[in-house]
Structure 1
């Protein structure tokens, strides 16, 4: 006769209330605070994964809600913890809401992503092929196909590093692609080619200096998505203008898989007398229009993050030409973008930014305004006002050509 199994003990939840600030996953030396903005969600589940990011170990409901921020503190979480979110709320596309807890979501404040997007019908909040289109609701789990977030330890010894501070009238920009610039240079070690580590090569930096330039402007380095239609043609998104995480470097550009590699690259460039400018894409995300996948902001709070048609919030305003447009007139979206800029300028020591389709960043629903909250925030911020800010002064929306404004 077999021995009876002991009853499973139900352990009390170890999650504490934590703090609503800062947003994202923040390691304090003892544990990790998780905080996520959503004005319309009813519940947020923190999903913890194993080190590979393939096995979901548990789901923990964030216990507190303060000023539209869900938050909780895990005392046993550490740097290296892999996580994502499932966000509950109404699925009412006609009212702008596309919550679907079957879809694992990337934290907009994630500092590092692991894994790559694997295209699957499970990534979509609606059921592809359903007669109701995006008004239908899909219950397949997207976790196996989505990049996961990783808690980082931001500690780094910068030593004597400081900004180069080239005056505007002596600034000569060299636009460079992180992957392209080092792929064929014979002096760059093979394993470092196409990565931030490749840009630390003395011979490569010497070549750039000989050209007489003062500043390297790196094409988008934020984590981005390979578009499904490109992959179907055997192609890749080489340029990177399809961001999905504004705080995380693109995983493929890290030779050693550690965030410190980007900081080391900046220190090497500064030591060579070169400024580092980032080409940044804050005008849209890789989630596309109403027929796109649910990867992050769409499932967290679609009605807050994106500009939607006022007459039918099922559809997106498309001033970017890529399917959606971020709504920087919303205070928490404005905070997301300015927090991202401060992170790269402060924590990562970059010297400035070039804004893709910058007119969008200065447009209210009524049109472009040179006194838009985003532009004013950059001018008055004690850190951002001191770095180089370069605008691409147009977009395809109404009144989009704003050269000189």
Structure 2
């Protein structure tokens, strides 16, 4: 049943009110930006009953009004009337219920139904307006008036140099956790459970990076296959925590539950970084569903081509958000500030960040969005991480982002994967750059090693276990005939594709996993672990599990397989070494100069013959052994009184060759004696050595020695 009119809507006393729904003691004020609309109706829902109230006031393109008696929990949306002219990009359609871009909560799912697509489903003609009512099939916005008590919440404020990121999925991380009550599994409350917090603290990570928690929808193509978007890179509401991740309810309770989770993580000393998707929305291209932005002002919210008729797609999702428009820039920055100031998060990882920096067709890192963020007194002080590529022309921008940004470093990922599978076609010089913080990419504009977020695996691609177990993707379960997902895995299976009962192959794979983890966690820069890699989590060769909301993606806490079960303790050891020794957490790049009292460099690079690498050695495609000396007397850190921090010196050997090799321990001025601290092969019999002596490095192993 639909009612139109009937309730008085009072004007805002001066100017236009804040965007979204603002609750006061007498009711709620609603405000939405739709400058080209002829009419905007506020739709209030009570069960299936809809009441439509025309908004009468319009200020600078913002339609607004105060509705007495409306409070928290009220479900609402908008219907907007205007020109239907796809040739110029205008796609107003009052038959479509629209979500409020500033809604603090959304409830209900997007259901793929003929009423959403209408003629386009049968004809494919996106220029024909579909007048079927979409209200039964789309999410509704929810009025939120939250009085959450943060108490004495204190942000951990972990320095960048001390940060260890841990990428996890809210739902998948706890869905199978035996100590989390069933009703809390897969939720914000589940992540805040004491047993989970204790696991995270014991591991030694400092910062959880949450896969998207903005309220998102599933793509119609997935819904037609009976599947859903699991990762969440398909945003609808940039202010709303995803509703189905809340155990307490979806009528605004998700906001309180998210805040309680952040407070609990902070109490445990852990930061919270959000993976955010502002490069596109879940409305897809011009043939996709109209859920919010397209129906409010399509040419302003999206980048368009063909004079406005088609969506410009630099993201691979069908649309690209238009960060050239001042209102869209405001929407995104308002959202970011909301998550920092109201939800207390500690930073963001930006999906396909170059798409946000395209002031024209080209990527402009001095453009509007990055400039606004860089000068913002709130946003410039939190952790900012760019995924420095998109799918548009010139979209690969690794190293191009300005301070204070850090960036996902895929060059690091590729170099480490290649080395440990025994591939070094150009020599070891690239590997050395990655291990030492990627100064070739980031040493400019005052940037530091922490600008490089180092990773070997991420949510997108093979897990660590699959990286050493599969050479080909196995994505058949996704329903796309194994066409989806990358073929450039740079993986090695040890001679057998997939899981095997062969103990020799399994031992090799577990050693390779330890090699990759040791390399990652002892490198300069900021390491990022993918949740489950420390326990040997497998996706059975699926390298694109974006639609697998099941055991393929969920963290398996019960795994007790020999070799993999011991991996968490190995990771804890590595993170303890990193935490206790500043030499592994340098705040500045190595200089490589002979400027110490002992006549040695702050970093030394050695071949297995015990002398420093020369030009020929660096470019030897057959060399698979590299020694890296960390000089502990020049860590780059200083005490509050200005005195330099002293630390032990270390020699790190990385040997990717298939056979053992004898390595000569460097002589003075580097060190007199060496003691083995860590050995990924677990085969070394010698634990001490003097300078000039030979140490047998086992095949495919990392050996760390303390030098004195």
Q: TM-score, normalised by structure 2?
A: 0.54
Match of 1:195 in 2: 187
The residue number in structure 2 matching 1:159 is 151
Q: Which residue of 2 aligns with 1:6?
A: none
Aligned equivalent of 1:115, options 108, 112, 135:
108
3-state SS of 1:364 partner: coil
Using CA pairs under 8 Å that are at least 6 residues apart, name the structure with larger relative contact order, 1 or 2: 1
Q: Assess if the C-alpha contact under 8 Å between 2:5 and 2:54 holds in 1.
A: no
- Superposed, 1:307-322 pairs within 5 Å as 307-309=303-305, 311-322=306-317
What is residue 294 of structure 2 aligned with on the other side?
A: 298
Confirm or deny that 1:15 pairs with 2:6. no
CA distance in 1, matches of 2:41, 2:389: 39
Residue 126 (structure 1) shift: 5.5
Is it true that 1:169 corresponds to 2:161 in the alignment?
Answer: yes
Shift of 1:125: 7.4
- Map Cα deviations across residues 1-56 of structure 1 (whole Å, 9 max, x no partner): xxxxxxxxx99641011252310111123211111011211110000100x3x221
Shift of the alpha carbon at 1:128?
3.0
SS in 2 for 1:270: helix
- The CA distance in 2 between the partners of 1:100 and 1:207, in whole Å, is 50
Q: Describe the SS at the equivalent of 1:153.
A: coil
Check if 1:24 corresponds to 2:24.
Answer: no
Match of 1:209 in 2: 201
Indicate which of 336, 340, 346 corresponds to 1:345: 340
Q: CA deviation at 1:119?
A: 1.1
Superposed counterparts of 1:83-98, under 5 Å: 83-98=76-91
* Separation in 1, partners of 2:290, 2:358: 25
TM superposition shift of 1:368? 1.0
**Partner Cα distance (1:60, 1:183) in 2:** 42
Are 1:277 and 2:277 an aligned pair? no
Q: Distance in 1 between matches of 2:231 and 2:123?
A: 33
Q: Distance in 2 between matches of 1:92 and 1:81?
A: 33
* 8 A Cα contact 2:374 2:380, kept in partner: yes
Unaligned stretches of 5+ residues in structure 2? 401-708
Q: Number of aligned residue pairs: give it.
A: 391
Q: Distance in 2 between matches of 1:39 and 1:379?
A: 29
Match of 1:55 among 46, 49, 74: 49
| 1:238 partner SS | coil
Q: Report the 3-state secondary structure (helix = DSSP H, G, I; strand = E; otherwise coil) of the residue aligned with 2:321.
A: coil
How far apart, in 1, do the equivalents of 2:117 and 2:332 lie? 25
Q: TM-score, normalised by structure 1?
A: 0.94
- Aligned-pair distance for 1:366? 3.5
Aligned to 2:385: 390
Match of 1:267 in 2: 263
Partners of 1:123 and 1:72 in 2: how far apart? 28
The CA distance in 2 between the partners of 1:244 and 1:13, in whole Å, is 29
SS of the residue 2:390 aligns to: coil
Q: Rg larger in 1 or in 2? A: 2
Report the Cα distance in structure 2 between the residues aligned to 1:276 and 1:197, rounded to whole angstroms.
14
> Which residue is 2:37 aligned to?
41
Residue in structure 2 matching 1:64, options 40, 48, 57? 57
**Pairing of 1:364-403 with structure 2 (within 5 A):** 364-403=359-398
The 2-side partners of 1:302 and 1:314 are apart by 10
State the SS of the aligned residue for 1:84.
strand
Distance 1:11 1:199 in 2: 44
**CA 1:81/1:11 → structure 2, altered by over 3 Å: closer, same or farther?**
closer
Matches within 5 A, 1:199-238: 199-238=191-230
Q: 1:254 aligns to what?
A: 246
Structure 1 residue 313 displacement after superposition: 1.1
Are 1:358 and 2:353 matched, yes or no? yes
